[in-house]
Amino acid sequence: MGTVIQYKQRGNEGRHQRWDRIGRAELFEQYRDLHAHGLSQRQAAQRLEVPRSTLQAWRAYQASLDECPAVVEFFQSPPGLAFLHRLVLGLHLVYVEVGACGIRLACLFLKLTGLNRFVGASYGTQQQVNRRVEEAIVAYRQQESTRLAHEMPAKAITITQDETFTGGLCLVGIEPKSNYILLEQLATARDQDTWNALMEPALAGLNCQVIQSTSDEAPGLLAYVEHHLGAHHSPDLFHVQHELSKAVSAPLAATERAAHKALETAQETLEQVQERLDNTNGEPEKWGPGRPPKVAVSLEQAEQAVETARQEHQRLFEQREQSKQRIRAIGNAYHFVDLDREVRRNGRLIASDIQEQIDTIRTVAHQEGRSQSALDRIEKAERVVPKRQATMEFVSGYVRQQVRQLDLMPPQSYAMHAHLIPSYYLDRVAST
């Protein structure tokens, strides 16, 4: 008959306590084993030290499940429950945490698969499960960070920092090469002292030195990098391109849409004129008594209006495409290695190329009569050009320092700078 699992010795005071599902499944499986060997329900209840009414309730519950008996037997067994628990945890980890599809879709999945017969599929129930999953993720992250920090080789790193406002102010810091989140924490302020108070414990224990920070031009971040990190600050590319797009591309898009609407209207007018002439066989229309309508537009005028509208729409379309290409060209220019010629570039040349694109965009803004706020956005983007030059000089200096530490002969050192490093850089760019 097998050995009866000694689940827990219970006195009379423990008979009304709740049974956890794994313990209940183990006891019910033993009950079926005992019953199959001829013991009555009362005898089995005494042997298992479980109230008979409890066994009856467990039997009634299984009988009430609208499912194949074999499926019910599996999911009510210890292995089936263990599988069900892993399935629900995996569902929350992949769907809710990684996929970010939300708890309600996890509930819908349980209902559509029929698993709601064996596990609670209400939002409240699954919300509690998700809370435990998130707590386990945070605990695992803390444990692994502490463990791996002791084995971490010394390295110089860059961090990217920003503030988000989903659910309140949250300060975020990430190491971009590994995508490791150093900091993601709610805060009451974003000044330099708050950044330092949160980043200091986040970096504690890590065998690394922050040599560069990339972010927007937020004053608190700039002050934190300068006064607390003592690292180089590199302005991010997104905010420069975003300001230029808001200044020129977005207004041009609105103007282009209006020009396209005007072209459609002119074409409709031309079609009406042509239809009227077709109906009268080219003869002037004769109007009866009463007030005559307004003078109809001639065919020549309608054709001229269409051509004018088409030219204006085409001009705006080309202006917008040119602006988009100039903004995109800023990203192509901001590279340590020339992507076309595959040679190293210096900061002065890179800054000159970026400035050329901004000057062209400013010319377009003046030609289209953009507002002063648009010109201010262009000037705001232009202010970080010298910082971009400084960043490239910082990167070049860091690379020279690393190569110098290798103590290479001049031919090998030249090959590193002229060929090997550019090739690795281009390979990295191609993989992103």
Which of 249, 269, 262, 363 shows the shortest CA–CA distance to 308? 262
pLDDT band at residue 414, thresholds of 50, 70 and 90?
A: very high
pLDDT average, residue stretch 201-220: 92
Q: Are residues 119 and 183 in the same domain?
A: no
Q: Are residues 209 and 339 in the same domain?
A: no
Q: Are residues 366 and 260 in the same domain?
A: yes
For residue 10, what pLDDT is reported? Answer: 41
For residue 284, what pLDDT is reported? Answer: 52
For residue 355, what pLDDT is reported? Answer: 93
What digits encode the pLDDT tens for the residues 247-279?
998 899 999 999 999 999 999 988 888 888 777
Which amino acid, 284?
Answer: P
% of the chain surpassing 70 pLDDT: 88
For residue 230, what pLDDT is reported? Answer: 93
Q: Are residues 50 and 124 in the same domain?
A: yes
pLDDT band at residue 428, thresholds of 50, 70 and 90?
A: confident
The answer to the question of residue 120 being in a domain is yes
CA–CA dist 313, 307 (Å, integer): 10
- CATH code for the domain of 176: 3.30.420.10
CA–CA dist 398, 393 (Å, integer): 9
Q: Are residues 213 and 325 in the same domain?
A: no
Q: Are residues 190 and 263 in the same domain?
A: no
The answer to the question of residue 185 being in a domain is yes
The answer to the question of residue 160 being in a domain is yes
Please determine, for residue 391, whether its predicted confidence score (pLDDT) is greater than 70. yes
The answer to the question of residue 289 being in a domain is no
Pairing of strands 232-235, 170-175: unpaired
- Which DSSP string corresponds to 332-350? HHS-SB-TTT--B--HHHH
For residue 13, what pLDDT is reported? Answer: 41
Q: Are residues 220 and 253 in the same domain?
A: no
Q: Are residues 242 and 338 in the same domain?
A: yes
Domain of 223 in residue numbering reads as: 156-235
For residue 117, what pLDDT is reported? Answer: 82
For residue 394, what pLDDT is reported? Answer: 94
The answer to the question of residue 149 being in a domain is no
Q: Are residues 112 and 188 in the same domain?
A: no
What digits encode the pLDDT tens for the residues 153-167?
889 999 999 999 877
Please determine, for residue 130, whether its predicted confidence score (pLDDT) is greater than 60. yes
The answer to the question of residue 292 being in a domain is no
CA–CA dist 1, 180 (Å, integer): 54
Q: Structurally, how many domains does the chain consist of? A: 3
Look at 103 and 432; give whichever has higher pLDDT. 103
Burial class (CB in 10 A: 0-12, 13-18, 19+), 324: middle
The answer to the question of residue 288 being in a domain is no
Structure token digits, residue 186: 């709610």
- Which DSSP string corresponds to 195-210? HHHHHHHHHTT--EEE
